Structure 1
Amino acid sequence: MVMRRINNRLATQLNKKVEIWHTVASTARNELGQKPVEDQLLDTVYAGIIPQTGSLLTGRTADTDLSRTTHKVIMRYRDDLTPDMWIMAEGVRYDILYIMDPYLNHERLEIFCEVRI
């Protein structure tokens, strides 16, 4: 009964369709004989994106302001994600910082990310 309630709450949080990307070595060789790396779509899933922290970095050249923003992405559990991957949602790239399986029950993942500008 408790597990069913948790699953229902999880389903209501997964309100955005996101893409999971990673880099892979190309099968073709370039003119130097190397196999270049290329971006490849791993999967498209539903997830929830929750803003966590934000800080304004000032004092740069020409008084430009940069923002460092972190988010938590919640999705159903899967075992093929690694920190060198990234998530794309509505044209925004979220670089994965670390991946957490709360309570180690393999129900969902909390993926802490940083927005890449």
Structure 2
Amino acid sequence: MPKHQSNKLKKRISILGNVEVEDRLGETTNKFERIKTIWAEIVPQTGSLQKQAADTILTNVTHKIKVRYTAGQDITKEMQIQFNGHTFEIKYILNPYFENKWLEIFVQEVLQ
């Protein structure tokens, strides 16, 4: 990321990977756990709320998360991002102009 934009990386995000863990019964299960923590800029893109049948609410909140290329080059779509109690599912990862300076990660918030 150019030096004049690196000051926008003010949010500390956690990258979660799907790892195998052994439970108390000795069985192996998959669970999202923190792999690393990096600096990022989080930009809200769009948001919508839709009321469904049986008073359930479906949300679609998407954000763009910008990180330095060197910090995020190992991030994949199978991972998740966590920030301030919010969990985001990765939809798309973009390397603008293939310059290897920063990554734009397009995500959707997961409601738990």
Alignment TM class, shorter chain as reference: 0.7 to 0.9
SS in 1 for 2:3: helix
Q: Aligned match of 2:33 in 40, 50, 57?
A: 40
Q: Which residue of 1 aligns with 2:13?
A: 18
TM-score normalised by the chain length of structure 1:
0.82
SS in 2 for 1:9: helix
1:70 aligns with 2:65: no
- The structure with the largest strand share of the pair is 2
TM-score normalised by the chain length of structure 2:
0.85
The structure-2 alpha-carbon separation of the partners of 1:39 and 1:67, relative to structure 1 and needing over 3 Å to count, comes to closer
Q: Which residue of 2 aligns with 1:85?
A: 79
Unmatched 5+ residue regions in structure 2? Answer: none
Q: In the comparison of the two structures, how many residue pairs are matched? A: 109
Does the 8 A contact of 1:57 with 1:66 survive in 2? yes
Q: Over the residues paired in the alignment, what is the CA RMSD in angstroms? A: 1.8
Unmatched 5+ residue regions in structure 1? Answer: 1-5
Instruction: Provide, for residues 23-59 of structure 1, a one-character-per-residue CA deviation record: whole Å limited to 9, x for no partner.
Output: 1123x4875x753212221110110000111122123
**d(CA) in 2 for partners of 1:8, 1:34:** 48
Bigger RCO (CA 8 Å, 6+ sep): 2
What percentage of residue pairs aligned between the two structures are identical? 32
Rg larger in structure:
1
